[in-house]
C-alpha cells in the first residue's frame, strides 16, 4: 500500500511516517532526508541542491522524481511506502502516479496533517534549539519562506487528491500519540472500505 503524509514543513510528517514504518510494513520515503544525506555525503546532487534547500525553495521536480524513481526500485518498497515530503508539486504528483502505475500500483490514500502556521514557527524554533540547529533551514525566516512555498506550490495538491477521492485530514496540532491514533483510524476506515489493507 502506498500512502502520502501531507502537510507543511514542521507538521510532524516525519514523526508520523516513522511510527507508520514501525507499525506497518511500509517504508518511509522522505525526499528531505534523502537530499540531506546527499548534501552530507558531498555528492554532485547534494552540492547542486544545498543552496536551494538552505533558502527554503524547492529543488527541481526532475531531481526529486529521479531520486524517488531510483528508490522505488529497491525491494523494500515492494510492500508499500509512506511518502513524506513528496510529492510537493502537481508535476511531482503526476510523475508519482505514472511511476506507480508502471508497477501496477497506485497511491491508496493521502493523510493531511492540518496545522496552524504560527504554531508551526514556534515548533521549529523549539526543534532548532533541541537539535542545536543542525538543519540550516530550521530557522523562523526560512520556515516562513518554506510555508509560502508550501501554500503556493504544494497546498494545491490537496485539491488534486481530494478530487481523486483519496484525501483525509487529521488534526496535526494534537499530541503525537493522538495524531497517530487519528491516522490509524483513517487507515482502518480505508481498510474496511476495501481501499487496501493498511491495518495488519
Whether 144 is catalytic is no
52 binds ligand AMP (CB under 6 A): yes
- Residue 180 three-state SS: helix
Q: Which of 146, 147, 168, 172 binds ligand AMP (CB under 6 A)?
A: 146
Q: Given 114, 135, 144, 145, which residue is catalytic?
A: 135
Binding-residue pattern over the window 80 to 119 for ligand AMP, x denoting contact by CB under 6 A? -----xxxx---x---------------------------
At 179, give phi and psi (nearest 5°).
-60, -45
Cell 482502518 belongs to which residue?
188
Cell 558531498 belongs to which residue?
42
**Helix ranges, 24-155 (H):** 31-41, 44-55, 61-72, 90-101, 117-130, 140-149
Q: In the chain, what's the furthest Cα-to-Cα distance? A: 46
50 binds ligand AMP (CB under 6 A): no
Residue closer to ligand AMP (CB basis): 1 or 68: 68
Whether 163 is catalytic is no
How far, in whole angstroms, is CA 145 from its chain's centroid?
18
Q: Which chain residues interact with ligand AMP by CB under 6 A?
A: 9, 31-32, 35, 52-53, 56-59, 64, 85-88, 92, 137, 146
Amino acid at each position: 500500500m502506498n500512502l502520502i503524509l501531507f502537510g507543511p514543513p514542521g507538521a510532524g510528517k516525519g514523526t508520523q511516517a516513522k511510527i507508520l514504518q514501525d507499525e506497518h510494513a511500509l517504508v518511509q520515503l522522505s525526499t528531505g532526508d534523502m537530499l540531506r544525506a546527499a548534501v552530507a555525503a558531498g555528492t554532485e546532487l547534494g552540492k547542486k541542491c544545498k543552496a536551494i534547500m538552505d533558502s527554503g525553495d524547492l529543488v527541481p521536480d526532475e531531481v526529486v522524481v529521479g531520486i524517488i524513481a531510483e528508490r522505488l526500485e529497491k525491494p523494500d518498497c515492494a510492500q508499500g511506502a509512506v511518502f513524506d515530503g513528496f510529492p510537493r508539486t502537481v508535476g511531482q504528483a503526476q510523475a508519482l502516479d505514472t511511476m506507480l502505475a508502471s508497477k501496477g500500483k497506485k497511491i491508496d490514500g493521502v493523510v493531511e496533517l492540518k496545522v496552524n502556521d504560527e504554531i508551526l514557527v514556534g515548533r521549529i524554533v523549539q526543534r532548532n534549539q533541541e537539535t542545536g540547529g543542525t538543519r540550516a533551514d530550521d530557522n523562523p525566516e526560512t520556515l516562513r519562506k518554506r510555508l509560502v512555498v508550501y501554500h503556493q506550490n504544494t497546498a494545491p495538491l490537496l485539491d488534486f487528491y481530494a478530487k481523486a477521492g483519496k484525501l483525509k485530514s487529521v488534526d496535526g496540532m494534537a499530541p503525537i500519540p493522538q495524531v497517530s491514533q487519528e491516522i490509524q483510524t483513517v487507515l482502518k476506515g480505508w481498510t474496511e472500505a476495501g481501499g487496501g489493507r493498511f491495518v495488519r
